[in-house]
Each structure stands twice: as structure tokens, then as C-alpha cells.
Copies of this chain bind each other. A is one copy, B any other.
Amino acid sequence: MSSCFNGGITVSLFGESHGRGIGVVIDNLPAGEEIDLDKIAGFMARRAPKKDGTSTMRSEKDIPEIMSGLYNGKTTGTPLSAVIFNTDQHSGDYGNISHIARPAHADYTGYLRYNGANDPRGGGHFSGRLTAPLCFAGAVCGQILAHRGITTGAHIKSIKNVTDESFDPVNITAEQLEAVKSRPFPTLSEEAERGMREVIENARMSLDSVGGIVECAAVGFPAGVGSPMMDGLENIIARLVFAIPAVKGIEFGNGFGCAELFGSENNDEFALKNGGIATKTNNHGGILGGISSGMPIIFRTAFKPTPSISRPQNSVDFKDMTEQELVIKGRHDPCVVPRAVPCVESALNIALLSALNDRP
């Protein structure tokens, strides 16, 4: 397999950036779950390009047409599929495809992998556009999680050297997670937003790009779900998060920071709380032994700067085997991080619903 996640649910992505359409098939969903299409549109709008300078000016409508799996507004339990037709395509003369590898893109590796037969237009199947059906799937799963009292959300933790506050790993609430979704620029603090917008605008003006970190959380997820070893929550969240182009790292709880602590500092002591069991701190990020502890699930994921920059770059024509200077034309995001926020949520939503389904 390559573009198909299979666990408690199956998510099969398809499509190329400039082909007829992109889409997804979601199999093994619970039946009879109400799905609010307006909310899905709202979710996906958070991923859509903004007109505020932070992303490409290319206009994508990206309205998913549901092909199957929804009847009378509810999931049928049989495969739910949706297609987003590609309409706004600027591919130029397709006969004259460049073979100069764009640095940090998959042009060269994809060419090798598919013996030159893959669709190179706009990145083809490697395009960030494939995150649109991922978000569709994530939005569907998120609504089903909500029916079970589970809320997920994410914010931009940093863009380059500008950092936002962090989620409170112990006390983060569903309300806080929802609140950040309604912000046009998903940070917790307005000061961070201002700083990040400035960094992005400066990058855009200097024909450059910047990366950043997204912090994501879930609350209300029941304790005792997941598995040790290969299909733990961390394993499947990581597997799904790395399906988002530009992700280069993931860490749970205090993550890489734990490597610098003593055990006595890092261990989260258990205590009774409101008649249940909780930990006083949440360095473990809500997952112990691959299984949920009942504490908020917290992780962060690192995004590299947009590979497409307008500055001239040195590269190689991998067909002619000659060194070439490359100038990438066209529209591109100076920073993908704001649009990546719902993508990370989607990976989490799919993983959590999969784990809930996967219990014997």
C-alpha cells in the first residue's frame, strides 16, 4: 500500500494536483452517525488558502462532493467517499515538463520511484492539495468523535523564532480548543499572531518562506484505548501525521524535552481527582504504553519552510544529468503552517477514531 491507512478504519486517499479530481474513501465508519456538511465545509475552510498574504493567491474551491456513505444525513456504515474536482489548474504546456528537481520537493524521488510515469504537474500525488481530502476525512471523524464527547484542536506553536503560548497540558479544555478554531490565524495569543504574520510577510517580501510548529491536543478521549507495541496511539498518530507533506518531526507530551530531565522530574504522579484518576502533571502527553491515560493527548509536529521559493536555486536536471539554475514561478505559500493546523487535527481525528474502533 502507499496512500491507504488501515486500522480500525481505513482511509484511502487518491488524486493528483492537476488531474480530474482528488478524494478519499473512508471504510469501516460506525453507522448512523449524523454528519453536518456545513461544519465540514467550515473545517475545510480553515485549510483553504487565505486572502491575507499568508498563503498562495490561487483560488481553490475544494468543495467535496460526497459520492457514497451518507444517507439522510447519517453515515451508512458502508464506505463514505468524496471527490474534490480540480478546476483551477494552471499547468501550462504539459508536453514541456521540467526535469529540474525543485529542492526539498519530491520531483526527483518521485521520478525514480515511478520510473518517470507519475504525474508531475503541480506536484501530482505529492501535492499539498492531497491534504484537502485528508481534512475531509478528518472532519468526518472529528464529528463522530464529538458524538462521544471528544474534542480535538490545534494551534500554531511557532513560526520561525516567534512562539505562541502552549496548551496547558493538564487543564486544557474543549472550549479552548474550539475557541482557537474560530480565529482567522490560529494562535492562542494575539501577540504571537502579530509576530508570526510579520515573519511570514517578511519572508514573502524577500521571496523566501518559513516553517513552524503545530501543537495539537485532544480532550475527553477515554482512558484505556490503544495498544502496546506497533499499533499504539503514538504509532498511528505518527504514521498519519507523516502523511502531511513537509512534516519532519513529531513529539508527544514534553517530547524531546524529556531527554533532559531526571526521572523524578519527568514522571507524572497519579492522584485522585473528581472521583477519578489523573496525573498531576502531563509530561507523558496522555499516552502510556501506547494507551490513553485519560489525560489530554498532546503532541507537536514540525513543518519545514515551504520548499517552493521564488529565489534562484541551484539544482540538477535529472533527465539530462546537467546542473541547472532553477527559478520556480507561480503562486505558493510563504508559510504552510497556518493551513496545516486542521491537517494535523485531521491526522489525530482519524487515529483516535481508528483506535476506538479497533477494540476487540
Contacts and interface: CB of A to CB of B under 8 A. Distances in A.
Given A5-B230, A258-B302, A264-B313, 16 more contacts: A1-B358, A13-B230, A14-B25, A14-B80, A21-B68, A31-B115, A31-B118, A71-B117, A109-B287, A111-B224, A211-B260, A230-B240, A235-B239, A249-B252, A270-B316, A270-B318
A255 interface: yes
A316 to B, nearest CB: 4
Contacts of A280: 314
Given A10-B4, A108-B288, A304 B266 contact: yes
Interface in A5-35: 5-6, 8-16, 19-23, 25, 27-32
Given A109-B289, A285-B248, A2 B78 contact: yes
A113 interface: yes
Interface stretch (A39-47, A122-130, A164-172, A180-188): A122-130
B83 A31 contact: no
A226 B112 CA distance: 10
Interface stretch (A53-61, A99-107, A147-155): A99-107
Chain A interface residue number, banded: 35 or more
A275 to B, nearest CB: 8
Contact of A314 (B158, B269, B287, B309): B269
A80 to B, nearest CB: 8
Contact of A291 (B113, B208, B223, B290): B113
Q: Among A4, A239, A264, A267, which residue has the most Cβ atoms of chain B within 10 A? A: A267
Copies of this subunit: 4
A307 B284 CA distance: 11
A109 B242 contact: no
A16 B71 contact: yes
Contacts of A173: none
Contacts of A232: 242-243
B231 A1 contact: yes
A314 to B, nearest CB: 5
Nearest to A245: B289
B277 A68 contact: no
- The 7 A-B pairs of least Cβ separation, nearest first, read A106-B289, A112-B224, A249-B251, A2-B227, A209-B263, A32-B117, A263-B305
26 contacts: A2-B228, A11-B230, A14-B27, A14-B81, A16-B71, A25-B25, A71-B124, A76-B124, A78-B118, A103-B269, A103-B270, A104-B283, A109-B226, A109-B292, A112-B224, A126-B289, A160-B259, A160-B262, A211-B266, A213-B256, A230-B243, A239-B239, A263-B305, A263-B308, A264-B313, A269-B314
